[in-house]
Chains A and B, each alone.
Chain A
Amino acid sequence: MTSYLLKRILMLIPLMIGITLITFSVIHLAPGEPVEMQMAMNPKVGKEARERLTKFYGLDKPLHEQYFSWVGKLAKLDLGRSFSSDGRPVLDKIKERLPVTISLNVVALVLEFGLAIPIGILAATRRDTWLDKGITVFVFVGFAVPTFWLALLLMYFFGVKLGWLPISGLHTLGSDNWGTIPYLWDLAKHLIMPVMVASFGSLAGLSRYMRSAMLNVISQDYITTARAKGLPESVVIYIHALRNALLPLITLLGFSIPGLIGGSVIFETIYAIPGMGQLFYQGVMSRDYPVVMGILVIGAFLTLIGNLAADLCYAVADPRIRHGEG
C-alpha cells in the first residue's frame, strides 16, 4: 500500500509540470499581448505607460524566463494580482470563491449519486421491462439536454411563472438580519435550482454506468452461487451485487470533477452565484489574464488531486488493487 501511494504521489510531479506548461503556453502563445488586452479597456494610456506595464508584468523578458518566474511564484502560491480595478491578489479572489463552488458541487454530487445508484439498480434488475426502457429514454434525453437551457427553463417555470424560487444570487438582500432559520431557508431556496442543474448534467451518464456495472456483476458466478445457496433476492442484489457494482463508481467520481468544475461556469453565470465559475467567466470577459491563468491551474490541480483521492479510495475498497502489483 505504501509503495503504491508513494508511486502515485511521485507520478503527480510530471503531471503538475505539464499542467503549468500547458497553461502557460495557452496564455502566451495565443496571439495578442496581455498588456494589449488591458490597454484595450482604456485607450487613453500612452506608450510610456504601456512599457511600464510590460516591464511590471515581466513581459519584456524571454518566454522561458517568464515561465520560470511564474512557476517560482506559483510554488509560493503567488498567482499575481488581478488586472481588474481592485488589483487584489488572484489567490485571495479564488479563496473567497472556491468554497461556494465546492460546496455547491458536493451537494450536487450527493444528489446525483443518491439518485443514479437506485435508478441504475432498478434498470438493471428489471432489465428489458418498460421501466428499464423508460429509464433508457430518460438517460438519452438527459444526455442531450444542454444544461444552460435546462437552467433557463427552470428559471422560467419556477422563478417567473410560479414565482416559487428566487432566480439569482445566494441570498435575499438583508436576509442576514432574519435569524438563523429563515436565513438558511432563504439560502436553500436560492440553491435548489443551481443544484438541480449541476446534478442533472451527469445524472444520466451515471445511472447508465450504474446499470451496466450492475448487469455486469449480476452475470458473475458468485452471484449465481449466492442465489443457489438460497439467499433471498434482496440480499443477493443489495449485499452481494451492489458492493461490487459500486467499486467502479469511485473512479467515475474522480473523473467527474473536471466536468463539474467546468460546468460551474454555466450555472454560476446564469444564476449569478459568486463562485469560481463566475469569477472565471468575469475574468474571461474582461481579459483579466492572471485570474484566468490562476483558475486554470488551480482547477487542473484540483482535478489531479481528486483523481488521486479516487484511486486511493479504490485501492482501499478493492483488495485486488491493494495487494496486486500496485
Chain B
Amino acid sequence: MVLKYTYFYSIFWPRLKRNKLALVGGVVVLALFLISLMAPLISPYDPNEINAWHVLSAPSWQHWFGTDELGRDVFSRVLYGARISLKVGFVAVGIAVSIGTVIGLLSGYYSGLVDATLMRLVDIMLCFPAFFLILAVITFLEPSIWYIMMVIGLTGWMGVARLVRAETLSIREMDYILAARCIGCSNARIIFRHILPNAISPVLVAATLGVAGAILTESALSFLGIGVQPPTPSWGNILTSGKDYIEFAWWLSLFPGLAILMTVLAYNLLGEGIRDALDPRVKR
C-alpha cells in the first residue's frame, strides 16, 4: 500500500473528504469505471450496428445523442468510448510512472555521473514538442491502441522522473537511510524498500493528472485519424465524423467532446484534491 493505513484514515481521507470538488471528481471517476465495465449492459444499441434508415438523425427519445453517418447510436458509442479512454489513460500512465520512478530513484540516489546523464536525457526529451514526438513514432507503426498507449507512456515520464528525483534527494539524507546502510542493506533494498514508499506520494498526484493528459492526447490522436481506428468507437474518432458533418449534425461534435471534458475535469479535480490532502502546508 502506498500510504500507511493509519495515515490514510486519520489524516489523508478526512482532508480529502472535506474537499467537495475532489469528491465530485472521485465520484465521476468511479462512475466512469462502472460505465466502462457495464457498457454492454447499459448501452441501448450495439455501438457498431448500422441503420440505414436513421442516418444522422438528431437526438430523440430513441437515440439520446442522435445517430452518426452510418446510423449508429452515438450514445452507445460514447459509452463504449469510455472503455478506450480509461484503458489508454491507465496503461499509458502506468508506463510513464514506472519509467519515471525508476529513473528518478536512480538519479536521486546515485547522483554524480548517473544523475547528470539521466537528467540531461530528461532535458532532451522535454525539448521535443510531445505531440510531434508521438505523431512521429506512430507514423512508422501500424495504428493500434497498444502502440498508442506505449508511445504516450514513453513520451510522458519526464515530469515524474524529476519529482521522484527531488524526493529521493531529500529522503537520502534521512537518518533511517543511514541506519539501513549501517545494518548492511544493499543499494537496491534501500532504494526500493526504504526510499520508494516514501517518495511515492507526489507520484500519486502526477499519475492522477497524467491519466487526464493521456486521455486528452489519445482523443486528439484519434481525432486526427492516427489513434484508435474505426469502427472501434473512441471519443476522438467520433469527433472526426463530427468535423466532417459539422454543417448538419452538431450532436456528433457536442456529446463526445462533453464526455472528454467531464472525464478530464474529474481526474484533474481528484488529482488536485489529493495534492492538497497530502500537502501538510495547506491549511486545514
Closest chain A residue to B226, Cβ basis: A284
Query: In the bound complex, do residue B265 and residue A292 qualify as a contact, i.e. CB atoms below 8 Å apart?
Result: no
- Residues of A with C-beta under 8 A to B262: 144
Q: Which B residues from 73 to 116 make CB contacts under 8 A with A?
A: none
Query: In the bound complex, do residue B220 and residue A296 qualify as a contact, i.e. CB atoms below 8 Å apart?
Result: no
Query: In the bound complex, do residue A140 and residue B242 qualify as a contact, i.e. CB atoms below 8 Å apart?
Result: no
1/0 per residue, CB under 8 A from B, across A238-276: the answer is: 000000000000000000001101110110011000000
Are A296 and B136 also in contact (CB < 8 A) when A140-B265, A146-B216, A152-B239 are? yes
Q: Looking at the assembled complex, report how far the CB atom of B183 sits from the nearest CB atom of chain A, in whole angstroms.
A: 38
* Chain B binding surface, main DSSP class: helix
Are A146 and B140 also in contact (CB < 8 A) when A15-B120, A261-B129 are? no
Partner of A19, one of B124, B135, B257: B124
- Which of A61-69, A86-94, A191-199, A297-305 lies at the interface? A297-305
Cβ of A70 within 8 Å of any chain B Cβ, yes or no, is: no
Q: Looking at the assembled complex, report how far the CB atom of A72 sits from the nearest CB atom of chain B, in whole angstroms.
A: 20
Cβ of B175 within 8 Å of any chain A Cβ, yes or no, is: no
- Residues of A with C-beta under 8 A to B226: 284-285
Query: In the bound complex, do residue A299 and residue B243 qualify as a contact, i.e. CB atoms below 8 Å apart?
Result: no
Question: What is the interface size of chain A, counting residues whose CB is below 8 A from a CB of the partner?
Answer: 53
- Apart from the given pairs A32-B140, A144-B262, A266-B223, 7 other A-B contacts in the complex at a CB distance below 8 Å: A146-B264, A258-B130, A283-B139, A284-B139, A292-B139, A296-B133, A307-B127
Q: Spell out A's residues near B (CB within 8 Å).
A: 14-15, 18-19, 22-23, 26-27, 30-32, 34, 37, 140-141, 143-149, 152-153, 155-156, 160, 258-259, 261-263, 265-266, 269-270, 280-281, 283-285, 287, 289, 292-293, 295-296, 299-301, 303-304, 307
What are 20 pairs between A and B in contact, CB < 8 Å?
A: A18-B123, A22-B124, A27-B136, A140-B268, A140-B269, A143-B264, A144-B212, A148-B220, A148-B224, A156-B246, A160-B246, A258-B127, A262-B129, A266-B220, A266-B224, A281-B135, A284-B135, A287-B140, A295-B132, A300-B127
Q: Spell out B's residues near A (CB within 8 Å).
A: 120-121, 123-133, 135-141, 212, 216, 219-220, 223-226, 239, 242-243, 246-247, 250, 253-254, 256-257, 260-262, 264-265, 268-269
